[in-house]
């Protein structure tokens, strides 16, 4: 069953096609973030389509494949904003920077403001002062 999942269900892990592409490009692991995502860079001759001699870079998600799960410092490296990965040269963190959290939209941890219908499903009373807008009343 795991074999079929790896072929068809790309959002849970790397597919066989992604694994083949990375092995063909002789990808070498350059680091891992605190969520368990692994980062790779192409080995051998650079084959980036921009023709500037840059090496391709990949992320292999740990679990659900969601782009917002990539922390900012690794995002910068993946998009060639920085040359060295954060595992080799960590970015300095400013005092005001909070710890990174992925996008929680669509999960039970998502923000639900007061009066939201989504809070009613959680057993919270929706504010009775809510009145829907209608063009006739405008």
Q: Of 19 and 133, which is predicted with more confidence?
A: 133
| Sole residue written with tokens 């023709």 | 51
Q: What is the helix (H) or strand (E) element at residue 20, kind and residue range?
A: helix 16-24
Q: How far apart are CA 104 and CA 110, in angstroms?
A: 5
5-57 residue pLDDT tens: 655 655 555 666 666 666 666 788 999 999 899 999 888 776 666 667 778 88
pLDDT at 123: 63
Chain-wide mean pLDDT for the chain? 78
pLDDT at 22: 63
CA-wise closest residue to 88 among 39, 48, 35, 23? 39
Q: Of 94 and 117, which is predicted with more confidence?
A: 94
| Sole residue written with tokens 């973030």 | 33
Q: Of 44 and 83, which is predicted with more confidence?
A: 83
* 75 band by pLDDT with thresholds 50, 70 and 90: very high
């Amino acid at each position: 069953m795991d074999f079929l999942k790896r072929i068809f269900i790309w959002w849970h892990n790397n597919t066989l096609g992604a694994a083949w592409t990375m092995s063909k490009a002789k990808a070498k692991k350059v680091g891992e973030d605190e969520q368990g995502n692994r980062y790779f860079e192409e080995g051998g001759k650079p084959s980036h389509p921009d023709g500037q001699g840059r090496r391709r870079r990949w992320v292999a998600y740990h679990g659900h494949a969601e782009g917002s799960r990539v922390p900012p410092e690794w995002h910068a490296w993946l998009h060639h904003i920085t040359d060295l990965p954060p595992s080799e040269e960590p970015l300095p963190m400013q005092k005001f920077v909070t710890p990174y959290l992925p996008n929680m939209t669509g999960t039970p941890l998502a923000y639900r403001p007061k009066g939201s219908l989504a809070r009613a499903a959680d057993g919270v009373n929706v504010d009775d002062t809510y009145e829907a807008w209608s063009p006739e009343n405008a």
